[in-house]
Structure 1
Amino acid sequence: MSVFEHPDFDQHEHVAFHQDPISGLSAIIAVHNTNLGPGLGGCRMFNYADSQAALTDVLRLSKGMTYKAAMASLPLGGGKSVIIGDHRSQKTPHMMEQMGRFVESLDGQYVIAEDSGISVSNVIDMAKHTKHVGGVGGNLQFDGSPADGNPAPATAYGVFVGLREAVKYRLNKGLGEVSVAITGIGSVGMRLAEHLYNAGAKIFVADVFEPNCKIAKERFGATIVSVEDISTLDVDVFAPCALGNAINQTNINLIKAKVISGAANNQLQHPEIGTELHAREILYAPDYVINAGGIIDIHHQKIASKPEAIKTHLEKVAQTLNTVFERSESQDLPTSLIADRLAEERFS
């Protein structure tokens, strides 16, 4: 199957492959749309089953970044990159430098930043060979604390603001009255758990990396459950904060939560899942709307915004979601479809 025939190709402007046998780098960069600006998106390093799985992931993520930037009202397009390999055992500084050279070969079409398996220090290594990097020159975070370039705090805060809005819209409750099941207690999920704990929510957590769950239990009184059971708990909110396809044909009819609101990208296995959620009256906060905090933060760090400007922009996530929810209700259409239409109006 050629790239053009791939079901997730969706008119990508540029898809590039690169392999360096010396460093062991095998990577793909996908640029979906640059109508509003260069394609900004993080680099994910993951031990994919095969190259087709990596290609599917990068195409879906790249497209999602186009929609995310548009819905966040940013002068940016959508792009993404993936490195095939185990970030805990195979990643080296030389590999990261080679990735920088790969990014530079696209001559500014793509701006790279950190993502799962890639740290800010890794992006700094890439920056030795490309100027097209984001999230490495931190100033101050939205709360006034020093920034190190990691967009996770802003992402988590944006998801928290959006989740609070979704709970208010569907359940007419405050966070102190609800239970939330979080799958994926990483850099974003852990921070989201902290925000929810401070707001009084009851928290359930699951992660393939058990030590993170234990931390959440110790710090926030979270109840640990299995990864297999987390999506079907009898809770108010399900918050996917790990990899994609969290809502799929296997669990769609078993979900008891009335709100789905989390940080993960590509949460729906396929578009029809959004229709099924709408039919079941489960309020879904479209992933690329609610998790836009990271790209918002990277943009503001680059232009050296003041903390209050960053926080104001992050809190607009709630306003955008409210618009999506209201149109979904008035038009009797899935929130996922409404968000797509709004984004496409902006970047097309």
Structure 2
Amino acid sequence: DPSPFTALGTYLGIKAAVKHRLGLDSLRGLKIAVQGVGHVGYYLCKHLHNEGAELIVTDIHQASLDKVATDFGAIVVAPQEIYAQDVDVYAPCALGATLNDATLPQLKAKIVAGCANNQLAEVRHGEQLKEMGILYAPDYVINAGGIINVSFEKDYDAAKSTAKVEEIYNTLLKIFSQADAQNRTTGAVADEMAKAIIEAAKQ
């Protein structure tokens, strides 16, 4: 099951974003809005709760919401209300394209970091987040834990897989720092790094 690994990578990615944007090593006392608390979202909420974060969650499945509310004391809000919550981090963990023309003006979070795929409706929404002063963790970097785990399946070693997933933390810190230094979006920097890795693998 790759879900725990995806959740671990996302949790560490949130920690990296909080370290870079807020200068904090701990999530204790921070408010985090999690959109989507299914399999991966539940594991993510568990990590966040264990570190003392306050959770505000939404989902279209009531049973999933009830479980997270009971297990982690999460506050439940309606799906359309999740964007405007007064939180430190917005973590999209459900559908893609939730960062769009309608939702971005509602955001109060300083960080967007979650495990959903294709979070930006369009590339320009990454530019808009940057202009708003919101740090965006590129989706395919922060949510790579599951696919990293799958890559170890031939001769499976959970310890080696976990160690590789844990590198997401430093990879994101590198992306954030480079984006700041070059005054570029984190997405543009991540794309460039990914292309360089792919080209190097062809050699």
User: If the TM-score is normalised by the length of the shorter chain, which range does it land in?
Assistant: over 0.9
Separation (CA, whole Å) in 2 of partners of 1:263 and 1:303: 26
Q: How does 1:85-100 map to 2 (within 5 A)?
A: none
Q: Deviations over 1:221-253 (max 9, x none)?
A: 000001101022110000000010011110111
The count of corresponding residues between Structure 1 and Structure 2 is 198
Q: How does 1:64-213 map to 2 (within 5 A)?
A: 150-173=1-24, 174-213=26-65
Separation (CA, whole Å) in 2 of partners of 1:206 and 1:250: 18
Separation (CA, whole Å) in 1 of partners of 2:12 and 2:154: 23
Q: Deviations over 1:179-223 (max 9, x none)?
A: 100001100001000000000000010001111111100000000
Kept in 1: contact 2:90–2:109 (CA 8 A): yes
Q: Which amino acid aligns with 2:7?
A: A
Separation (CA, whole Å) in 2 of partners of 1:252 and 1:219: 30
Q: What does residue 216 of structure 1 align with? A: 68
Q: How does 1:1-348 map to 2 (within 5 A)?
A: 150-173=1-24, 174-305=26-157, 307-348=158-199
Q: Which runs of 4+ in 1 moved over 3 A?
A: none
Q: Which amino acid aligns with 2:64?
A: N
Separation (CA, whole Å) in 2 of partners of 1:235 and 1:206: 14
- TM-score, normalised on structure 2? 0.95
RMSD, matched Cα: 0.9
Separation (CA, whole Å) in 2 of partners of 1:323 and 1:210: 38
Separation (CA, whole Å) in 2 of partners of 1:320 and 1:246: 24
Q: Which amino acid aligns with 1:167?
A: V
Separation (CA, whole Å) in 2 of partners of 1:319 and 1:334: 18
Q: CA deviation at 1:308?
A: 2.3
Greater length-normalized contact order (CA 8 Å, ≥ 6 residues apart): 2
Look at both structures and tell me which one has the larger radius of gyration over its CA atoms. 1
Write 1 or 2 for the structure with the bigger share of strand: 1
Q: Which amino acid aligns with 1:334?
A: T
Q: Which amino acid aligns with 2:109?
A: A
Separation (CA, whole Å) in 2 of partners of 1:346 and 1:172: 29
Q: CA deviation at 1:301?
A: 2.3
State the secondary structure of the residue aligned to 1:301.
coil
Q: Deviations over 1:45-93 (max 9, x none)?
A: xxxxxxxxxxxxxxxxxxxxxxxxxxxxxxxxxxxxxxxxxxxxxxxxx
Separation (CA, whole Å) in 1 of partners of 2:172 and 2:154: 25
Separation (CA, whole Å) in 1 of partners of 2:176 and 2:37: 27
Q: CA deviation at 1:303?
A: 2.5
Q: What does residue 137 of structure 1 align with? A: none
Separation (CA, whole Å) in 2 of partners of 1:273 and 1:286: 12
Kept in 1: contact 2:114–2:142 (CA 8 A): yes
State the secondary structure of the residue aligned to 1:176.
coil
State the secondary structure of the residue aligned to 2:60.
coil
Q: Which amino acid aligns with 2:193?
A: L
Separation (CA, whole Å) in 1 of partners of 2:9 and 2:137: 12
Q: CA deviation at 1:177?
A: 2.7
